[in-house]
């Protein structure tokens, strides 16, 4: 080894030891006859000291060192006069006797400090330098810790980690696939897996009974904040289990991770049905760090002269505790906020439940104080609270109210990053009508779409709905599509785990019966031939003794960012892509040579 110690481990007990350290020059300071250098490595910082009186040559050499030079030094550990309480090795310094420059460095394009002067794009271009910053390094250390603890937990429960292939077959379900041309199989393409779903199910057929993999997945989606085209999942599958067993096993994983990684004891995770989540929070991943439910005000708001409310399908109230003192300006601001196209409400009505017990609203013209008292009652509002009311079409207004709820949560400081609230959302709809989603191929719109994925099992008590849908489809009543909205939608044995309003993972009990799987494909609009072509391998496997099974996948990047108290997953990925899906450091994606294209027999479309 070129070193005896790291830059993070020497303490006062080590005084008078002779040590050799290696690292990068973080900072150097000249104070007359003395020169101080902070030497940095992965483990921390150690101060080096040089003195003109001890060795003038060495001191001059030290003064000439630039930031990020790589050094090897040998010297004696001495007690510092001015101790630095902010650094673990701040009680000591090294009186250097030998200095070797292992490598020089250009001046870095930004400062390697927590509070760097480098912008996002610049830091991504030089990500290897960005990763030298303690903050980013700590994120990757946290990621490593969570991965190790996940493996420990699952290993103890007999889960086996199996690698599944990265070059697989494209299936036009879910998001868009990334595709890879095959040179040896002309005009044919592999796809990168959106998840190892079918493989893990096949592993169950093989009898592996408890599988996991910390695995890269790829989805060619339009990138929203907090999405990466490649991301990592903790992917798991179990045989001979029911939904309850999976929830318990993975609740156990979360409890274990919170305890070992963050030393937090989380309480038993509550369950909420999808229908309740939509009703009370307008959202299938509610942030339950705070209450503020969506209250249906139809019964107390309708029937007066206020047309906006009379014509609305749904009137929703939100009670913001202690916010009655919001100024006119703040309320105008919130009104503008809900009217933004992303939120899409037409306006916002407010009622202040003032501290003197009187009620003041923006619709006093239409509603008496008695009326408003009823609103307050339904909303369980107290003196000092503010009621905000939105009205409109059911679906859209729930969504808007859900956004407003989160915004109020932010403004009222109810979304503390150090507080964690976990929730299982269960009983998701099995299917949804796809009106055209920008993230799926256009040919899939105007069809039923699997809410989770096509292998998800319906709830036993809703199987009859599947059967009646199948008879309708077979009778071709389906020709008139809009009627499908009125069809009762079967619920799935599917569940999501939500933490602080973020979907951390989801899974389901799978169909393990060929006939039921066939019916599912039929509902999803696959012909028998198409289903056989796309998923024949799985349906055939189901004929060789498939055990009942189910699983879950947790978003590993999100889990890491949540544990790190950050909003973005990007800082928890060593080499992330930017918002246009580019890696600006290696400059990918990029063109390939004419020779490569030739070999693949791919002809590029001329760009206009």
> Which parts of this chain interact with ligand ASP (CB under 6 A)?
195, 197, 506-508, 551-553
Closest CA to 352 of 321, 390, 378, 329: 321
Compute the distance between CA of residue 148 and CA of residue 150 in angstroms, rounded to an integer.
Answer: 5
Residue 451 CB, shortest distance to ligand ASP, in Å, is 11
The secondary structure of residue 490, as a DSSP letter, is: P
- Helix 197-205 vs helix 528-541: crossing angle, to nearest 10: 50
Residue with tokens 């040559």: 57
Residue 165 CB, shortest distance to ligand ASP, in Å, is 15
Cβ closer to ligand ASP: 253 or 381? Answer: 253
CB-based closest residue to ligand ASP: 195
Cβ closer to ligand ASP: 197 or 243? Answer: 197
Closest CA to 23 of 50, 57, 1, 46: 46
Residue 551 CB, shortest distance to ligand ASP, in Å, is 4
Residue 147 CB, shortest distance to ligand ASP, in Å, is 18
Residue 151 CB, shortest distance to ligand ASP, in Å, is 18
**For 357, left (φ over 0), alpha (ψ -120 to 50), or beta?**
left
Query: H-helix or E-strand containing 201?
Result: helix 197-205
Compute the distance between CA of residue 154 and CA of residue 159 in angstroms, rounded to an integer.
Answer: 5
Strand positions, DSSP E, 393-438? 422-426, 431-434
Compute the distance between CA of residue 255 and CA of residue 600 in angstroms, rounded to an integer.
Answer: 50
Residue 231 CB, shortest distance to ligand ASP, in Å, is 10
Query: H-helix or E-strand containing 506?
Result: strand 502-509
Cβ closer to ligand ASP: 175 or 566? Answer: 175
Cβ closer to ligand ASP: 317 or 507? Answer: 507
Residue 506 CB, shortest distance to ligand ASP, in Å, is 5
Cβ closer to ligand ASP: 90 or 458? Answer: 458
Cβ closer to ligand ASP: 489 or 494? Answer: 494
At residue 576, φ and ψ (nearest 5 deg) are -80, 170
Residue 549 CB, shortest distance to ligand ASP, in Å, is 10
Residue 554 CB, shortest distance to ligand ASP, in Å, is 9
Residue with tokens 């592993």: 203
Cβ closer to ligand ASP: 285 or 405? Answer: 285
Question: With b meaning 16 or more CB within 10 Å and e meaning fewer, what string describes 231-265?
Answer: bbbbbbbbbebebeebbebbbebbbbbbebbbeee
Cβ closer to ligand ASP: 175 or 466? Answer: 175
Closest CA to 508 of 424, 603, 436, 422: 424
Cβ closer to ligand ASP: 280 or 453? Answer: 453
């Amino acid at each position: 080894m070129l070193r005896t110690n790291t830059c993070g481990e020497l303490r006062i007990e080590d005084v008078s030891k002779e040590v050799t350290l290696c690292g990068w020059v973080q900072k150097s300071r000249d104070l007359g006859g003395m020169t101080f250098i902070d030497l940095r490595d992965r483990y921390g910082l150690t101060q080096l000291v040089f003195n003109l009186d001890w060795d003038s040559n060495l001191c001059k050499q030290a003064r000439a060192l630039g930031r990020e030079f790589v050094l090897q030094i040998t010297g004696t550990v001495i007690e510092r006069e001015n101790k630095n309480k902010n650094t673990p090795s701040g009680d000591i310094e090294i009186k250097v006797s030998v200095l070797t420059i292992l490598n020089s460095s250009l001046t870095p394009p930004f400062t390697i400090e927590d509070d760097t002067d480098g912008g996002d794009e610049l830091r991504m271009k030089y990500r290897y330098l960005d990763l030298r910053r303690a903050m980013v390094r700590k994120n990757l250390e946290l990621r490593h810790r969570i991965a190790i603890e996940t493996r420990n937990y699952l290993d103890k429960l007999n889960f086996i980690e199996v690698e599944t292939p990265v070059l697989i077959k494209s299936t036009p379900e879910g998001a868009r696939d990334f595709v890879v041309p095959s040179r040896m199989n002309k005009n044919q393409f592999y796809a990168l897996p959106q998840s190892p779903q079918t493989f893990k199910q096949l592993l169950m057929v093989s009898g592996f009974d408890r599988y996991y993999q910390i695995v890269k997945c790829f989805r060619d989606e339009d990138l929203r904040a907090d999405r990466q085209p490649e991301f990592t999942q903790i992917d798991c599958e179990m045989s001979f289990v029911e939904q309850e067993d999976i929830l318990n096993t993975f609740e156990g994983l979360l409890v274990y991770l919170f305890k070992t990684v963050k030393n937090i004891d989380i309480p038993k995770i509550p369950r909420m049905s999808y229908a309740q989540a939509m009703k009370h929070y307008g959202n299938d991943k509610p942030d339950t760090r705070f209450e503020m439910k969506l209250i249906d005000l139809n019964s107390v708001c309708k029937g007066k002269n206020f047309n906006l409310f009379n014509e609305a399908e749904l009137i929703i109230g939100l009670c913001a505790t202690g916010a009655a003192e919001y100024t006119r300006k703040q309320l105008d601001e919130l009104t503008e906020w809900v009217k933004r196209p992303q939120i899409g409400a037409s306006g916002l009505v407010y009622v202040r439940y003032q501290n003197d017990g009187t009620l003041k609203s923006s619709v006093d013209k239409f509603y008496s104080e008695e009326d408003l008292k009823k609103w307050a009652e339904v909303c369980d509002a107290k003196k000092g609270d503010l009621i905000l009311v939105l009205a409109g079409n059911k679906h859209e207004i729930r969504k808007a109210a859900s956004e407003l709820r989160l915004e109020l949560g932010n403004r009222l400081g109810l979304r503390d990053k150090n507080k964690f609230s976990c929730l299982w959302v269960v009983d998701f709809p099995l299917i949804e009508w796809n009106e055209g989603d920008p993230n799926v191929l256009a040919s899939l719109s105007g069809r039923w779409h699997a809410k989770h994925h096509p292998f998800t099992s319906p709830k036993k008590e809703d199987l009859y709905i599947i059967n009646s849908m199948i008879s309708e489809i077979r009778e071709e009543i389906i020709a008139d599509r809009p009627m499908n909205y009125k069809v009762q939608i079967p619920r799935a044995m599917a569940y999501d785990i939500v933490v602080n309003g973020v979907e951390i993972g989801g899974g389901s009990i799978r169909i393990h019966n060929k006939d039921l799987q066939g019916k599912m494909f039929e509902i999803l609009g696959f012909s028998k031939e198409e289903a056989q072509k796309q998923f024949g391998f799985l349906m055939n496997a189901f004929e060789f003794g498939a055990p009942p099974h189910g699983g879950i996948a947790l978003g590993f990047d999100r889990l890491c960012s949540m544990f790190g108290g950050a909003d973005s997953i990007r800082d928890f990925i060593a080499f992330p892509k930017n918002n246009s899906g580019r890696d600006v450091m290696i400059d990918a994606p990029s063109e390939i040579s004419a020779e490569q294209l030739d070999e693949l027999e791919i002809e590029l479309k001329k760009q206009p």
